[in-house]
Amino acid sequence: MVEESLETTVRLNNGVEMPRLGLGVWKTNNTNAKESVSSAIQQGYRLIDTAKQYGNETGVGEGIREGLEKTGLDRKDLFITTKVFNGDQGYQSTLDKFEGSLKRLQLDYVDLLLIHWPVDGKYLDTWKAMEKLYHDGKVRAIGVSNFDVERLQNLLDHAEVKPVINQMEFNPLQQEKEILNFAQEQGIQLEAWSPLGGGAALNNPTIQKIADAHNKSTAQVIIRWDWQRGIVTIPKSAHPERIAQNSDIFDFSLSDDEVQAINDLDENKASIWYQDFGWYEPNGGVDTGSVDKWDDSPADYDK
């Protein structure tokens, strides 16, 4: 049996190796992001996921720097993801504003760049810019986030470089089966944001029963379920002890029946309702929304 750990990777469709379990930092301010990222790296995490929209790239960059200093690791040992902000979409804007992300992260390149949301009328031009960044060596892989099947197919019809990832809300109660099946057919890796599904999933009696049988938390069972389903997973936490617990999933396995029991919890509800967002305009207009600017943020997010 191959040993599993936080350094275990999946090979993406462009040949790049990506860790299968990492740290997400959504809704985390810069101070907490720095502490979380540094702690995670010291605990063995190698995948860190952020976004310009989160307003914490600066804190993530500081956490990366501190984590590398304390562990003696090199930059190449980490896998860093960020995302193109809705208001930056379009060809030239994507190229220009990407430099701001690199500066805030204190990096020369990122391992994975995603389109954060498919802004209609913009995302194809955004993708062309990302292909240039990929060919220029500024990013090692490019992908998307929150793309339904229709938009992902449209992107594939126009893309020179196939996306390596579709990052989706994915958890026991929201399994996006149509999107998952399409991604698998296309050789695109699914990555789960909000993998724990909040209180509804964490307090689910079926998951609790499985957790009790393994002497594990419901969060650990869900992350293990993702692992066995082949989903890349980025649970978010700002607490070092929770970050450690979320990675303590390699000393047990779920049976086929237990995996199926969690599969059966899917409520089959689409999580993506584009019309609920101000930037969604079928004719190509876009309300850019805003970056989540924290009081502790020193960054200029207009760049």
Burial 223-251 (b: 16+ CB within 10 A, else e): bbbbbbbebbbbbbbbeeeebebbbebee
Q: How many CB atoms lie within 10 A of CB 77?
A: 13
| Residue carrying the six token digits 């724990």 | 196
Taking alpha carbons only, the member of 294, 267, 248, 295 closest to residue 50 is 294
Would strands 189-193 and 165-169 be described as parallel, antiparallel, or unpaired? parallel
Say how far apart CA 193 and CA 171 lie, in whole Å. Answer: 8
CA distances from 289 to 86, 88, 102 (A): 7, 10, 21
3-state class (DSSP) for residue 225: helix
For 118, phi then psi, to 5°, come to -80, 85
Say how far apart CA 59 and CA 301 lie, in whole Å. Answer: 13
**54 annotated active-site:** yes
Q: How many CB atoms lie within 10 A of CB 290?
A: 13
With a CB cutoff of 8 Å and minimum separation 6, the contacts of 124 are: 154, 155, 158
Please list the active-site residues. Answer: 54
